[in-house]
A and B are shown apart, each in its own frame.
Chain A
Amino acid sequence: MTITTQSRPQRWDQPFGSDMTDGDVERLLTIPEIQAIEAKKFPSRISLAGILRNDARIMQYKAGDIVIREGDYGNSAFLILNGSLRVVLAPGLPGEMLGRRKIQKKNFWQALKQLWTQKISPEFRDVQRYNPESGLREAKDPGSAHVFLQDIPAILDSNKTAILEGGALFGELAALGRTPRTSTIFAETDSELLEIRWQGLREFRKYDQGWRRLIDERYRQNALKAHLGATSIFEHLDDSDLQEVADHTLFETYGTFDWHLSYKKMQGQDRVEGVKDEPEIARQGSYPDGVLMVRAGFARVSVQRGNGSQTITYLGAGDFYGADEIYKTWKGETDVSLKVTITALGYVEILRVPTKTIEKHLFAYWESGRQGGTRDGNPNPGKRRRIQDFFEQTLAEGALQEWAVQERFVNGTQAMLINLDRCVRCDDCVRACASTHDGNPRFVRHGKTFQNWMVANACMHCADPVCMIGCPTGAIHRSMSGGMVIINDDTCIGCETCANSCPYSNIRMVSIRDEGGQHILDPQNHKPIIKATKCDLCADQITGPACAFACPHDALNRVDFRDVTWGGETGGQ
């Protein structure tokens, strides 16, 4: 294999908006929210103007255009330059209105109907279905296409909404915290918005006190308190105590938001290495200064072993670490240090609750004896094991887990794990998949292998669904009901953003065909119309994932790697 060389990609190689002009930047610098920023605090290589030029873009929305959708993942925040927008308050707009697929389980008869309704012709689509009036506002750049709402007065009538006016900032929490958007916002009038991608936002927060205060306060107010209250170690606290913890909690992000892009690139170059490449969150042997809680993303937990480091487990959203060590110190033990190294896998958002706060709010509670059990690890001791449990495991026992961490398969909640020692390569899974998807398979029965395990190229329905970032129409979304990531074929415009984002190559673009098997072409340029496809976990099937249901040899399972222990015991589904 010849090694191709390429200069390390530089920041701003690819500006966010391709048509930002100097005039635009000049104009932006005059608006009050930007004006308030002390430009000289920024280092010269990351100037404020540079950020505005490269990490931001000005977007025009027509009345009715949806700016962000509830449940979407986004990597950008919006500053309203002019116009007025509406936030749809709970219960929110129905999914169909947002361009999402309506999921309804088939009944027995409908399921059986698939026997004769499925087509031999691959990727057949009835083009009649793609209603041109479906509310898709096309743009020159497919990434900027919008879905718009048809009848604004009716929506305002039937939904509770709040108005957002010029100067308002929104979407920053989802952008920085990698959490789904909490509500839908659409333009009530034609509006102009400044969209700032997460890198720019991070710089603003880092170098400008005003923005930091703004962002952090909003975060503490809107999200953090609720989040903390939902964790096992703080669930006993009352409102004011919780507020105090929230006020003292530091939040940090590690790794890059777009880790999947660089990861894929590095994977392609065989340069994914492991612990030493990853941003370090805590180091083995150092003094604990607080409890680390993962709010989003994944963190690798490893220990030094021989000349390398052994990954023993990983932390996901909701997991925390360090309470035990601090507790021991608090009880008077000396020389207590962290037993593990924690590094960021991709992008991690960490909440660091300082020692003092922990001592005050947690240990006192532990001492009262009301809850002595759960300490480190995770909120569900019954289901998952604690970090301590992993110290004992042999290299062999941990190998699969370590591999899964290395390959980032831990991200998946429904990874397709095939036991090759049982698999007879009969392709029943693929055929079952095809017959539940109109004759089209939605995964490829190959993938990375480790010993006798294969993680096939089927959507893993990631906890951190990077594919959803940047979908212009919200066609790819997480189902509110089942939690699976699905693509609405009707609103997919074939921009390939999701397919390119998926670090596991589990989204495939297909060119759609008519009944005779002819490709359906764009009349403008005769390019085939393509659509993103992937496993939808058989969301509308009665049987659950047809692949696992159809495997005669019990070789294929859909698993969450947290539940996988050594020896092939899979607790999937």
Chain B
Amino acid sequence: MDENKFDHGKSPYERPNFPFRCGRGALWRTPCNNGPKVDGSCGGTRDCTPFFKEDRWLCRREKRYGGPCKEGPSPTGECSWQRPPCAPRKTLREIRGQISFLAVAAIVALLLISQALNPTFAGFVNISDAGPLSKSHKKFTEIEGCAACHAAYGQGPVGWIKAVFTPVDISERCVNCHSFGGPDSIAHNNDLAIDREVRKTECIMCHREHSGQKMSTRQSTSEQCNTCHKNKFESFSKGHPEFPEKYPYFNRNAIKFDHGSHLKKHFENPKFTEKAPTSCTGCHQVTLSDREVRPQAFETICVNCHGSQITKKDLVLIRLPEFMQNFVDKDALIQACNSPAEEKTDDEFLSVSTEMPALVSAFLLNVPEDDPETYEQPLQELIQAMTEESMLPIEDLVNSQTETPMADKLLTGLNPEVLKRAACSWGLNLEYEPPAEAKFGGWYADMLEVRYKPTGHRDPVAKSWIEFALNVSTVQDDEDKTTRAIAMRDEVISAKEGVGSCVKCHAVSETTLADGKKKLEIEWQYKEVNNRPHSQYSHTSHIEIMGNKSSCSNCHILDGKAEYMASFKGFDATKWSSNFSSIKRKTCIQCHTESQINQDCQSCHIYHLNPGFKKKMVSAKRQMPEIKK
């Protein structure tokens, strides 16, 4: 086009900072020379403002726009180059500024509207929604909305400003519902003495909300444990401390089951082969077992071989011992027994029995069992009483031994008639002759004794007698009586002779009570280890991976040298050696190591202590929990 368009006369400054541009130009027609005015109106309706001088109107068009025009102003002084005004447009930059302003205004309006709306309207469209809550929290916040957790919600601007300057601990709201086995803002909810200052924990350190239905906890890593734990290490395979010496067999079993002798001796024995289980799972219930792999019930597994042994061992309550003299009031006896009057014989009294009294009765009467001169009178008086009141005197004796009367348990099924008859016979210095043998267990009298025959496993009377014996053996003030109690106890809990042979399998352990007193207990139940609330182990998943058959022995290795049964000789449950070698860390590392199976702390360790819910949470009906604080 024009090479001289750079010429100073033809090319004025372009002013990109000017907010308006010519409307004609915007329509792709020739823009005028003057351009829009500062106020955005058209400045180009005419080319010049003519000047009146010496009777003439003079054209004043600028030189760069061609100088004075040919036509010149009209006689009235009007410029001859006039055109209708254009509608100047805003420049792109102006428009951009306006759009930016509008964008900001739209956002602010949106925010204000969402704030002005009723907070309970939140269900519809809530622009302040920070994200969906996790499934479990979604429900209970339905009514209260955000205020369920956020104190500042709906408090207005003043509340907000206050909230900015007051630290908010959202954890306070969490524990309205959640409960723990210990203080909730101390690490691990554990009140153990901590050897250094540990800061208060907050729920939101780990638990995050508004991240969708599924996620509620943020990724926890081993590094986070390292933050507080003094013993820092990289991973399980690198630096985790060795397990304790006895791991995982810390406590003596409740059941004296010598895996060594059973597996190596008895199960091998051709006599029992048929009855013997073929693998661990023959006895242990693996399915759905986490940390504990319980053995199955006695009735399922033990009974095959040991079923008949229980009923063979009786408890002897009373035995007619050898008496030196007769202290029985015959007349009274006859009257009581309603037996035909006997002739009085002044023969030398000759005891029908040469036995010693039963240890039970010796204890009850607190008499030495080996000194007839001492025991004959109280015992005969007892027999005398029994002839009259049958079991009442025994009942009284039993009940007086313990704080809580136990006669109802100990003497269950004791037939007063039988007792009386036996007493009558013995009062007459005769043996009692039962009409028939007591085949099926229970109380019975036979010759010189009143006995109890256990009916089978879990016999309540037998159990009660063992508990009674254990109980009384530790509480006596009298030294003699203590000796007698112990003698009785030792008889009752004797593996071979004790009633039902219970203690052949059930361990008796000494426990310390809260007041420091020691107590003996027999462990009737398989004992779950629940003193390790912060760790977890799942047998199921391990077995799933390793297979059902021989997988147990991968970790549980029989220790042939262990003196397993010897551990049960005393009552100290802590002194024991397991049948199995303790499991070492290296056993786990075989799989739990880099590049194999995850070895996060969280795989085995549980952070919280007994997490649960508060009662009101459970019982809460559809009512708003009152939130104070």
User: Which A residues have a C-beta under 8 Å from some C-beta of B?
Assistant: 1, 120-122, 268, 270, 427, 430-431, 434-435, 439-448, 457, 499, 502, 505-511, 516-517, 525-528
Which B residues, 1 to 15, have Cβ-Cβ distances below 8 Å to chain A? 3-9, 11-15
Stretch at the interface among B16-24, B369-377, B479-487: B16-24
- In the complex, the answer to whether A508 meets B51 with C-beta atoms within 8 Å is no
Asked if B37 lies at the interface with its beta carbon under 8 angstroms from chain A, I say yes
* Known contacts A434-B15, A508-B12, A525 near B3 by CB under 8 Å: no
Asked if B169 lies at the interface with its beta carbon under 8 angstroms from chain A, I say no
- In the complex, the answer to whether A502 meets B11 with C-beta atoms within 8 Å is no
Asked if B246 lies at the interface with its beta carbon under 8 angstroms from chain A, I say no
- CB neighbours of B53 from chain A (8 A): 525-526
- In the complex, the answer to whether B37 meets A270 with C-beta atoms within 8 Å is no
Give A441 to B43 CA distance when docked, in angstroms.
20
CB-defined A-B contacts under 8 Å, sample of 10: A1-B3, A427-B14, A430-B15, A441-B16, A444-B13, A457-B11, A499-B9, A507-B8, A508-B13, A517-B37
Give A170 to B161 CA distance when docked, in angstroms.
81
- In the complex, the answer to whether B18 meets A120 with C-beta atoms within 8 Å is yes
Asked if B224 lies at the interface with its beta carbon under 8 angstroms from chain A, I say no
Asked if B38 lies at the interface with its beta carbon under 8 angstroms from chain A, I say yes
- In the complex, the answer to whether A270 meets B60 with C-beta atoms within 8 Å is no
- CB neighbours of B51 from chain A (8 A): 525-527
- Name the 10 nearest CB pairs between A and B, nearest first: A526-B51, A517-B38, A427-B16, A505-B8, A434-B17, A441-B13, A508-B8, A121-B38, A505-B6, A499-B8
Asked if B274 lies at the interface with its beta carbon under 8 angstroms from chain A, I say no
- In the complex, the answer to whether B11 meets A528 with C-beta atoms within 8 Å is no
Give A440 to B13 CA distance when docked, in angstroms.
8
- CB neighbours of A507 from chain B (8 A): 8
Residue from B15, B60, B64 within 8 A of A527 (CB atoms) = B60
- CB neighbours of A430 from chain B (8 A): 14-17
- CB neighbours of A270 from chain B (8 A): 3
- CB neighbours of A510 from chain B (8 A): 12-13
- In the complex, the answer to whether B8 meets A526 with C-beta atoms within 8 Å is no
* Known contacts A441-B14, A528-B62, A120 near B8 by CB under 8 Å: no
* Chain B: CB-nearest residue to A517: B38
* Known contacts A434-B17, A525-B53, A516 near B11 by CB under 8 Å: no
Least CB distance from B129 to A in Å reads 39
Which B residues, 559 to 597, have Cβ-Cβ distances below 8 Å to chain A? none
Residue from A439, A506, A516 within 8 A of B8 (CB atoms) = A506
Give A430 to B11 CA distance when docked, in angstroms.
15
- In the complex, the answer to whether B6 meets A447 with C-beta atoms within 8 Å is yes
Asked if B49 lies at the interface with its beta carbon under 8 angstroms from chain A, I say yes
Least CB distance from B380 to A in Å reads 122
- CB neighbours of B58 from chain A (8 A): 525-526
- CB neighbours of B5 from chain A (8 A): 446
Chain B interface category by residue count: 20 to 34
The digit string for B32-59, where 1 denotes a CB below 8 A from any CB of A, is 0000011100010000010101000010
Residue from B8, B9, B15, B49 within 8 A of A122 (CB atoms) = B15
Give A121 to B17 CA distance when docked, in angstroms.
10
* Known contacts A511-B62, A516-B38, A505 near B7 by CB under 8 Å: yes
The digit string for B433-444, where 1 denotes a CB below 8 A from any CB of A, is 000000000000
Give A140 to B60 CA distance when docked, in angstroms.
20
The digit string for B240-260, where 1 denotes a CB below 8 A from any CB of A, is 000000000000000000000
Residue from B8, B13, B38 within 8 A of A502 (CB atoms) = B8
Residue from A441, A448, A502, A525 within 8 A of B15 (CB atoms) = A441
- In the complex, the answer to whether B38 meets A444 with C-beta atoms within 8 Å is no
- CB neighbours of B4 from chain A (8 A): 268
Give A444 to B37 CA distance when docked, in angstroms.
21
Least CB distance from B551 to A in Å reads 70
- CB neighbours of B11 from chain A (8 A): 444, 446, 457, 505, 508
User: Which B residues have a C-beta under 8 Å from some C-beta of A?
Assistant: 3-9, 11-19, 37-39, 43, 49, 51, 53, 58, 60, 62, 64
List 12 other contacts, CB 8 Å, given A1-B3, A270-B3, A505-B7: A430-B17, A434-B16, A441-B13, A441-B15, A441-B17, A442-B13, A509-B8, A510-B12, A516-B38, A525-B51, A525-B53, A528-B62
Give A444 to B5 CA distance when docked, in angstroms.
11
Give A281 to B93 CA distance when docked, in angstroms.
54
- CB neighbours of B13 from chain A (8 A): 122, 440-444, 508, 510
Give A442 to B60 CA distance when docked, in angstroms.
25
- CB neighbours of B49 from chain A (8 A): 526
Counting chain A CB atoms within 10 Å of each CB, which of B17, B38, B64 scores highest? B17
* Known contacts A502-B8, A505-B7, A505-B8, A445 near B17 by CB under 8 Å: no
* Known contacts A121-B38, A505-B11, A528-B62, A446 near B17 by CB under 8 Å: no
- In the complex, the answer to whether A431 meets B62 with C-beta atoms within 8 Å is no
Give A502 to B13 CA distance when docked, in angstroms.
16
Residue from A120, A122, A440, A448 within 8 A of B6 (CB atoms) = A448
- CB neighbours of A508 from chain B (8 A): 8, 11-13
* Chain B: CB-nearest residue to A431: B17
- CB neighbours of A446 from chain B (8 A): 5-6, 11
Give A122 to B35 CA distance when docked, in angstroms.
11
- CB neighbours of A443 from chain B (8 A): 13
Give A525 to B60 CA distance when docked, in angstroms.
9
- CB neighbours of A121 from chain B (8 A): 38
- In the complex, the answer to whether A439 meets B6 with C-beta atoms within 8 Å is no
Counting chain B CB atoms within 10 Å of each CB, which of A525, A526, A528 scores highest? A526
- In the complex, the answer to whether B60 meets A444 with C-beta atoms within 8 Å is no
Give A224 to B510 CA distance when docked, in angstroms.
124
Give A442 to B13 CA distance when docked, in angstroms.
7
Least CB distance from A489 to B in Å reads 15
Give A67 to B95 CA distance when docked, in angstroms.
54
- In the complex, the answer to whether A122 meets B14 with C-beta atoms within 8 Å is no
- CB neighbours of A499 from chain B (8 A): 8-9
* Chain A: CB-nearest residue to B13: A441
Give A270 to B102 CA distance when docked, in angstroms.
52
- In the complex, the answer to whether A435 meets B8 with C-beta atoms within 8 Å is no
Least CB distance from A277 to B in Å reads 19
- In the complex, the answer to whether B60 meets A526 with C-beta atoms within 8 Å is yes
Give A511 to B64 CA distance when docked, in angstroms.
11
- CB neighbours of A120 from chain B (8 A): 17-19, 38
Give A505 to B10 CA distance when docked, in angstroms.
10
- In the complex, the answer to whether B3 meets A445 with C-beta atoms within 8 Å is no
- In the complex, the answer to whether B60 meets A439 with C-beta atoms within 8 Å is no
- CB neighbours of B16 from chain A (8 A): 427, 430-431, 434, 441
- CB neighbours of B17 from chain A (8 A): 120, 430-431, 434-435, 439, 441
- CB neighbours of B37 from chain A (8 A): 517
* Chain B: CB-nearest residue to A519: B49
* Known contacts A441-B13, A510-B13, A517-B37, A122 near B18 by CB under 8 Å: yes
Least CB distance from B523 to A in Å reads 84
- CB neighbours of B64 from chain A (8 A): 509
Give A443 to B13 CA distance when docked, in angstroms.
7
* Chain A: CB-nearest residue to B38: A517
Give A236 to B8 CA distance when docked, in angstroms.
47
Least CB distance from B386 to A in Å reads 116
Least CB distance from A3 to B in Å reads 13
- In the complex, the answer to whether B15 meets A457 with C-beta atoms within 8 Å is no
Give A448 to B5 CA distance when docked, in angstroms.
10
Least CB distance from A416 to B in Å reads 13
Least CB distance from B18 to A in Å reads 7
* Chain B: CB-nearest residue to A120: B38
- In the complex, the answer to whether A444 meets B19 with C-beta atoms within 8 Å is no
Give A527 to B61 CA distance when docked, in angstroms.
9
- CB neighbours of B39 from chain A (8 A): 517
Give A121 to B64 CA distance when docked, in angstroms.
20
Give A499 to B10 CA distance when docked, in angstroms.
12
Give A457 to B12 CA distance when docked, in angstroms.
11
Give A517 to B18 CA distance when docked, in angstroms.
12
Least CB distance from B95 to A in Å reads 15
Least CB distance from B360 to A in Å reads 106
Give A268 to B49 CA distance when docked, in angstroms.
32
